[in-house]
Structure formats: C-alpha cells, structure tokens
Structure 1
C-alpha cells in the first residue's frame, strides 16, 4: 500500500511499537520509487531499525514517460540513454496522465508539470539507487526489482544485491533470473484469472515452465489461495509443489528460515483449510507461532 511520506515515519514506528500486541507478525516491504529521493532518509532509518523490512526498487516514472511506440514489456534498460521518451508537452500525454492525476487529487496540468520536474532527476537516480542498496546490504535486508524488461535490468539490480525479480515482464528476463539463481515472483491474481492484465507472461505458464518460485498477492489477498486452487485444478502442479510458491519459497527468499514449512523446531505458523474436492478452499483457522490467531466456524 502506498502512503504519503509525511505519514510513513509515524506509521512505521507505530507498527513496531504495537507488534507485541498484534495477532500476526506483520512484515513490511518498502516499495520505493527510485525518483523519490525524499524517501531515502526514511528508508535508511527503517533499515537501521529492529524490524528489518524488505526493499523493492520500482520505477514507474520511466514507465510512465515511455514513448507509446515502445512496448512496455520489452522496453530498454530504464537507464539506457537511448530510451524513447514521450513528448510530455503533448495533449496525448496529458490525456494519459489524467487518471493518475485524479487518483492523486491533482489537476492534470499540475500533475504533468510534476512529472516533467521529476524526470529532470534522472541523471541522479543511479546514485540514489546505490545509496538505498548500500543501506539494505548493511542491514542484510532482502531486495527486489520490479517489472524488469531486460536481462540487463535484472543484471543491474542483481549487482546491487537484489536477488528477487518481481514480475519480470517477459520470459527472456525470467530465464536470465533463473540461470543466475535469482528468485522469481509472479502475481497470484494473474494465476487466478488466467493471465496478466498488462500483457506480461501468464503466471500459470511460468509455473509450468519452472520460471516462477513465488506467487504474490499483488494487493488482492484472496488471490493467493484462489491461484493455488486454479493451478491445481488445471494440472499445472501438485499441491505440495504449488504450496511452496506461497509458503516455503517466500519465507526463504525473504530471509525467514523459521517459517514457511511444517517441521520440528520451526514457528508453527499454520493455516487450517476446509477444501472439499472440486471446491474453493476456505480458511477455518490460523495459528501464529503455535498460538490461535483466527477462527471461523460454519454457520448452523
């Protein structure tokens, strides 16, 4: 969930303070837009704190100003000097930005002006990425890159310590990540619905090809179980193998070896499902470190 920078520090501190009273172990992923230099002190403070977050590198600024003649899924490395950029003074660009401006509560003209101003930061973005990556390395925090469109992009972020490729935008990048031993993430909603809403690779195809290690909720939490149910029903994999995509592999990739599996000595983070053959699974109970955290009884 994206939040305003002004709210981040207080919210993060409150989460850490309330952690002992909460039912579950809330883990934080810092989804950083690399043109947002203002966030760097907050990122460094969070990484230096007791509840180590993960850090994801996002660049929706470059994606937003990409010339429409260039396919998003195979666009050049985001920091390629030859990257084709749209005319940001055009009516077409203003029309494209209108929905984003509306979501931000801004007038289109002001939003376009802000985008143009942010784009002027591009020469300094590489240094900002290096600064954030160094802080994450010092904290031994896991790092992810988002929407990689070229093997060069994946290589760049791997050199900075990001060993998780989140939503690679074409199979070539996924194969490059696999060959390098990186973790590969696709969206559970993608798998549940049967395809990407952006024209990126289908998660089911990537799972079948051995090019997906993790299914992420992508903000729609019911999709995790729905994806496993559909992939199982479609014969993409066995339940034990599919379950690793939402349990053991996410835990291992994020440096949480005490969870994600049922084994003696681990945390006993458990979910009890009611799952009749051919039906959708329903969560009946969850346990966090062996303690009951949630219970849902049948009606009647």
Structure 2
C-alpha cells in the first residue's frame, strides 16, 4: 500500500514534548516534514505520537476466536492489524509464550507465528517478543535457532509453574482446564509439570548459557512478574535488564535503583488496580518508577490509561508512557515523538477523545467518523 500524498494538517492541537501546541503538521514520504502538502483542517482534533506497545497478548483472540478454533496466523494478523489501528497503536510487540501450556503457547506455534510475521505486510509495525518459561530447558537449543532464523530481538523470562503445590505433592489448581487447553490428559499434564519442576537445580545454569547466546546476537532480555528485589537481581545477572510487571513496590524500586526500565499494564491503570491483588500500576507511576505502559491483554486500554493519567500529570508526561518512553527503551529513535525527520506515526483523537485515525509510517491504518469525511473530501 502506498504512502499518503504530502499532507498538511492545520487547526489541530499537536502533542509536543512540552505539551499541546496549535500549529501545522506536515507529512510526506512516510515521514514528518517541515512543511507543504494538501491542507486538511483538523480543528477540534488532537494529533499525538503513535502508540508504541511493547507487550500485548490480546492478539491470541484473533488467532483463536474460541478454544481450539485456531486460525492461521496470517488470517489472524489482518484482524489484529485493524484493532491496533483502531487503538492508536503504530508499533506493536506481540508477547508470544514459549510455554508448557501447549496449543497457541507452544514452541511449535511460536515458530509458525515468528515465520509468519517475518513475511507479513501489515500497516502496523509488528514485532515479536518470546515469553520463555524458564524450566523448559530441553527446548533452549530450538529457541536459539528460532531467534536466529526469524530475527527475534526481544526475549523475556517467566516462570508460571505452580511450584508450591508441586513441591508439596498436591494437585495444582486448574490442572484439568490447562490439560484440555494443551490437548493432554490431566495425568499427562500433571506428569509434565512435575518433570519441569524437578529441573529446578539446573535451570539457572541453562538460562545463563542461553542468555549468553542471545546477548551475542543483540537480543534484549527482561523478566516478567518479579516479586522481590532478589528476583530482579537473579535476572539482572543473566543480562535481563527490563523489568516487566513487577508484582511489588520493592521489585520495581530495585529495578529503578539499578537504572533498569520498568513496564506495567495499562489495564491495571484503567481498572484502578491489579485484578490479582498485586501492586497497582498507578502507585508505581506516581512514584516515578514506570517507563512504559503496555496493552497486556487489551489493546484499547492504552489510550484510556493515558487519558486518565493525563488529567492528573499532564498529557505530555502521560502520553510519554505509551509512546516516547517505550520507543526509547527499545532504542527506536525514529518514533515516539513528533519532530521533522521521524516516522509519520500518528494517533488522531477526535473531540470525544476517541481514536478516529491512525497513520503508521505514512500509511493510514485506521480512519473513521468525521475525520474520514475531512480527509477524503
């Protein structure tokens, strides 16, 4: 799909690093430029840098609308692309599990999705994050091969095994449902979990070896759901310097004290707290501990979270958490701000505060309502 022709938006409020300013904004050749282009009056609208979402697993609904009804990734990506556009997202990182959970969270599906993304032509700039279960040590060679083959640049460690129950010889909660989702019998699933749990003593050495291989390829690494400062220190020693969804204030403070970026979920902000009783994201934002908010399981909450925080801390600071902050965290210096020479990645909000248009790299990924009438006139 070709770029938009040169355009000059006038009358809108443009979000700059210091706040909103009413000035003209021109785009041409997929970039923000100094001037020129066909003029479009956007009085009443706000133009903000496109959202950079570093962790979203809501794409799973597009791949499998119902349990077991797994669509082909290529078909699912079309719906995902549309939802990202409708949510003001111009860069999206898909948080794909590499997990014992099986099905769409299996290493096999991870490989299919990675290879599909490598050849996809989407309007949204899509990237892949692999969320690796730490105890799946026998799959680490296959993981390293996929990273090299598909050019994966972001890996996060997490451990969701029910260690407490497994150590006590008890049946883990929800085991039957997990087994059915994975396509295993409850007995086979329980046996798998026990065998993974028993690998505990050798896990750190295996992770260290894999992390060394990934670091040599320039892969960014992080950890997910750190509960204590000791958790953060453990993953820091592996070169995982991104702290995703810390569960406690102590874990977030440990990351920040070491100069490490902290990522939290926008749904947590919108809901006013964690649905599982962990530290509220707003508390960490107010303490200056958060560098990026991400969609987690629901793409539309990014705009809602930024708007909620914007009323309290100012839009420039709040929007930085969903655009400039995440872009800087990943070293993407061509996006996240509105300035000449950067990508024309823009979210256009109507008078109601709803996303009415999204431009990604100079291409329209979403257009609706009165904005569509103005731009198509």
Equivalent position of 2:168 in the other structure: 87
Whether 2:203 is the aligned partner of 1:125: answer yes
Tell me the TM-score normalized by structure 1. 0.83
Equivalent position of 2:117 in the other structure: 15
Whether 2:239 is the aligned partner of 1:161: answer yes
Contact 2:310 2:316 in 1 (8 A): no
Matched residue of 1:165: which SS?
A: strand
- Higher mean alpha-carbon deviation, 131-140 vs 184-193, is at 131-140
1:1-300 equivalences under 5 Å are: 1-2=96-97, 3=104, 4-18=106-120, 21-49=121-149, 51-61=151-161, 64-66=162-164, 86-88=167-169, 90=170, 93-233=171-311, 235=312, 237-276=313-352, 281-298=353-370
Change (3 A) 1:287 1:127: same
Change (3 A) 1:49 1:269: farther
Q: Which has the larger radius of gyration?
A: 2
Change (3 A) 1:176 1:103: same
How many residues end up aligned between the 2 structures?
A: 270
Residue 7 of structure 1 deviates from its aligned partner by 2.9
Question: Which has the higher relative contact order, 1 or 2, with Cα contacts under 8 A spaced 6 or more apart?
Answer: 2
Q: What runs of 5+ residues in structure 2 fail to find an aligned partner?
A: 1-95, 98-103
Change (3 A) 1:112 1:52: closer
RMSD of aligned Cα (Å) = 2.1
More strand by share: 2
Tell me the TM-score normalized by structure 2. 0.67
Residue 95 of structure 1 deviates from its aligned partner by 4.3
1:129-166 CA distances to partner (integer Å, 9 max, x unpaired)? 11231122112121111111111211121222211100
Change (3 A) 1:178 1:218: same
Question: What is the distance in 2 between the residues matched to 1:243 and 1:99?
Answer: 39
Contact 2:211 2:239 in 1 (8 A): yes
More helix by share: 1
Question: What is the distance in 2 between the residues matched to 1:218 and 1:53?
Answer: 19
Residue 102 of structure 1 deviates from its aligned partner by 3.7
Residue 268 of structure 1 deviates from its aligned partner by 1.9
Contact 1:47 1:135 in 2 (8 A): no
